[in-house]
């Protein structure tokens, strides 16, 4: 319980600190959206943008409001959040949150893991893979279980921090992650639950119904 409280308060304090120093560059921001390919994974990226939003259809079941392919705002450096979806979900599964985080001044990037059934490009994704381990036998899991998810997020961070136009607008001292269910397991591992998964770039993690029995 103590660790959960620290994680959540750290993430909240991060937002407060961001707003405190954003004198000439205040939230709410216009939300930009880009769909990119990072290695073998497609990913959606939301970010503070310079152009006007308009209604956007992610898929026939899901709509939002973004400035598609807009230029990222360069009025300051923004915190970066990586999002890991649940088993069989995809990077679009929590659009209500990923869009709103960008309005608050965050860059958010969400890759489709190998088990994604839907796609950040809309519709269903072909070739989705099931979980590599039994979900009802978590006691058999090792640090090799779902390692590919950890690798997806590490590669996403590498790409974002070394690719234009993202590198100049990311605050490298303020990087965190959000994970849902199996994504929560992934972020817990990267935060240190699996010692050899730990990614020291992550300063904060929010775990939503994490699968960590």
| 3-state secondary structure (DSSP) of residue 118 | strand
Output the pLDDT for position 124. 85
| 3-state secondary structure (DSSP) of residue 201 | coil
Q: Which of 9, 203, 32 is nearest to 105 (CA)?
A: 32
SS3 percent helix, strand, coil of the chain, rounded to 5, is 30, 30, 40
User: Could you write out the three-class secondary structure of 41-90?
Assistant: EEEEEEEEECCCCEEEEEECCEEEEEEECCCECCCCCEEEEEEECCCCCC
Output the pLDDT for position 16. 43
* Helix-then-strand count for the chain, H and E: 4, 8
Give me the tens of pLDDT residue by residue for the chain, a chain 213 residues long: 344 433 433 444 444 444 434 445 899 999 999 999 999 999 999 999 999 999 999 998 899 999 999 999 999 999 999 999 999 999 999 999 999 999 999 999 999 999 999 999 998 887 667 666 677 788 889 999 999 999 999 999 999 999 999 999 999 999 999 999 999 999 999 999 999 999 999 999 999 999 987
Max Cα-Cα span within the chain: 52
Measured distance CA(91)–CA(74) in Å, rounded = 25
Output the pLDDT for position 189. 97
Output the pLDDT for position 131. 65
Output the pLDDT for position 134. 75
List, in sequence order, every residue forming a beta bridge with 57; answer none if it has no partner.
63
Output the pLDDT for position 136. 76
Angle CA 95–107–117, to nearest 5: 40
Measured distance CA(172)–CA(95) in Å, rounded = 24
Output the pLDDT for position 18. 42
Q: Residue count of the chain, please give it.
A: 213
Q: What is the H or E stretch that residue 18 is in? A: helix 2-21
What are 45's two structure tokens? 């990226």
């Amino acid at each position: 319980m103590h660790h959960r409280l620290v994680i959540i308060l750290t993430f909240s304090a991060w937002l407060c600190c961001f707003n405190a120093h954003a004198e000439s560059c205040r939230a709410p921001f216009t939300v930009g959206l880009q769909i990119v390919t990072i290695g073998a994974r497609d990913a959606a990226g939301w970010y503070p943008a310079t152009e006007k939003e308009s209604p956007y259809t992610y898929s026939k079941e899901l709509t939002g409001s973004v400035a598609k392919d807009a230029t990222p705002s360069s009025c300051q450096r923004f915190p970066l959040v990586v999002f890991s979806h649940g088993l069989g979900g995809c990077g679009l599964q929590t659009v209500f949150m990923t869009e709103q985080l960008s309005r608050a001044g965050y860059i958010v990037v969400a890759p489709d893991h190998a088990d994604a059934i839907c796609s950040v490009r809309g519709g269903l994704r072909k070739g989705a893979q099931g979980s590599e381990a039994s979900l009802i036998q978590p006691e058999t899991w090792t640090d090799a279980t779902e390692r590919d998810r950890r690798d997806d997020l590490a590669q996403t961070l590498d790409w974002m921090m070394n690719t234009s136009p993202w590198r100049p607008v990311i605050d490298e001292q303020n990087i965190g992650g959000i994970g849902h269910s199996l994504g929560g397991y992934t972020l817990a591992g990267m935060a240190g639950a699996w010692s050899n998964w730990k990614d020291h770039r992550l300063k904060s993690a929010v775990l939503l119904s994490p699968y960590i029995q």
